[in-house]
Amino acid sequence: MDLAAHVDDRSPRGIAATVARLVRGGDLRPGDRLPTVRVLAADLGVSPATVSGAWQALAAVGIVTSRGRAGTVVLPPPASWLPPRYRDLAGGAPARIDLSTGTPDPELLPPIGPALARVALHRPAADTGAYLASPVVPALEVVLRESWPFAPQRITVVDGALDAISRTLEQVAVYGSRVAVEEPGFPPLFDLLDQLGLERVPVTLDRQGMRPDELDKALAGGAGVVVLQPRAHNPTGVSLTSTRARELAAVLRRHDALVVEDDHSGEIASARDVSLGALLPDRVVHVRSYSKSHGPDLRIAAVGGPAAVLDALVARRMLGPGWTSRLLQHVLVDLLTDSGAIEAVAHARRVYFARRRALREVLATHDVALDPGDGINLWLPVHDERTALVRLEAAGIRVAPGTPFSGDGSTAAHVRVTVGLLGSEVDDVGRALALAAAP
């Protein structure tokens, strides 16, 4: 096939879109070899970097793969609907104790029945005048603003934290833009950036959050957006300190960049609610998820930040889902204001803290020392990741491999343990983790 003859738009996006269209239409089949970068670049009259960018975008979404000297070939359709790194996290054999999921303990979520009953009593039917009404119910906006770490110009709700990050990035970044991300970081975020055609620029962490010197390098290198987790970082458990926030803000003032904060653990985190928005309110979009505190199936995250970003986000969303169910928003209002639900979330926060501490204490008895951290996950260094996973599988314990959390491979040789799901088996789990981590 003369691939160049089918390409109208000679940008990386246009070339990638052409190949994807030909694959979907059956003109290119699994196993077909694509032209080399240099050959197609010559045929199109573009630089090799342009074609290489298209190939990288196609590889990131599983349409093609590079086989070295054998060239770049079309892949079969994926066997799973999950994105690549999600698949890496979801794989593995069933286990007696599954600590791989990164999800909250369902037993610690506030009961939703009473909230549903109270909302249904006041709203016996779904609202019919919802199409052009405000996308966030007034009562929820009041509650959100009272708890927000800074005074945002706009606040709205969307369908989960990743939805919020995705819609924000679509407004502030274009194909090929560079985005500074934490190293290690959240694998689905890496998948999302790949899907959007955005280049990841890894910024390493220490015990206080992103390193200012590393962030400065990333911004000087062209990163125009920064995505970070301000507390209970997944997977390390690190939380941003007030001192580090001031240091990062000083770096950001020297550059033109927007910050997206993913406060995914929200009300179950024990760390202080530190936000760069308190220092740079016009340049921070803060996302707060209620999945871990109130239930993943509510699918609600709040987003607050500059009007220029949020107004565009809401306008674009009106041409898609329009709004997050106002019935569910009223349920969340109830859960955020009902004394019983508030105490249930506070209890969950205490239990997660205790479970994390208990596992750290058991590991310490086996000469494995870890920082306190926060949240429901623990980032365990191991001598060899594959060996650790095999040893734990033999013990009937499943954890998440560390490799998907590393954008550049620099923080490999770890596993992530969902401490929040631990029960009375903490001694056995701690012993098995220590043995798995050893050489």
Integer Cα distance of 378 and 415 in angstroms: 8
pLDDT number for residue 292: 96
Tell me whether residue 87 is exposed, middle or buried, using C-beta atoms within 10 angstroms of its C-beta: 0 to 12, 13 to 18, 19 or more: middle
Integer Cα distance of 22 and 204 in angstroms: 39
If you average pLDDT over every residue of the chain, what do you get?
92
pLDDT number for residue 60: 75
Architecture of the CATH domain 84-108+341-437? Alpha-Beta Complex (3.90)
Count of alpha carbons within 13 Å of 185, Cβ hemisphere only?
27
- The H-or-E segment that residue 40 falls in is helix 37-44
Q: Which residues of 241-268 are buried (b: 16+ CB within 10 A; e: fewer)?
A: beebbebbbebbeeeebbbbbbbbbbbb
Every domain of the chain and the residues it spans: 3-74, 84-108+341-437, 113-336
The amino acid that residue 16 corresponds to is A
Q: 371 near 237, Cβ under 8 Å?
A: yes
C-alpha closest to that of 261 among 194, 210, 195: 210
pLDDT number for residue 125: 82
pLDDT number for residue 321: 93
Architecture of the CATH domain 3-74? Orthogonal Bundle (1.10)
Q: Angle at Cα 250 formed by Cα 164 and Cα 302, nearest 5°? A: 15
End-to-end CA distance of the chain: 52
Q: How far is CA 230 from the centre of its chain?
A: 13
Q: Angle at Cα 147 formed by Cα 185 and Cα 345, nearest 5°? A: 70
pLDDT digits (tens, 9 = 90+) for 37-51: 999 999 999 999 999
Integer Cα distance of 329 and 278 in angstroms: 26
pLDDT number for residue 82: 75
Residue carrying the six token digits 């050893």: 438
pLDDT digits (tens, 9 = 90+) for 271-303: 999 999 999 999 999 999 999 999 999 999 999
pLDDT number for residue 239: 97
pLDDT number for residue 277: 98
Residue carrying the six token digits 């923080």: 411
pLDDT number for residue 67: 72
pLDDT number for residue 418: 96
Q: Angle at Cα 10 formed by Cα 4 and Cα 11, nearest 5°? A: 140
Q: What is the pTM of this model?
A: 0.82
| CATH code for the structural domain at 113-336 | 3.40.640.10
pLDDT digits (tens, 9 = 90+) for 75-108: 877 656 778 787 777 766 567 899 999 999 999 9
From the first residue on, what is the mean pLDDT of each consecutive set of 10 residues in the chain (439 residues)?
90 89 88 91 94 87 76 76 75 78 95 95 80 92 98 97 97 95 96 94 96 98 97 97 98 97 96 97 97 95 98 96 94 97 98 97 96 95 92 91 82 89 94 96
CB atoms within 10 A of CB 230: 32
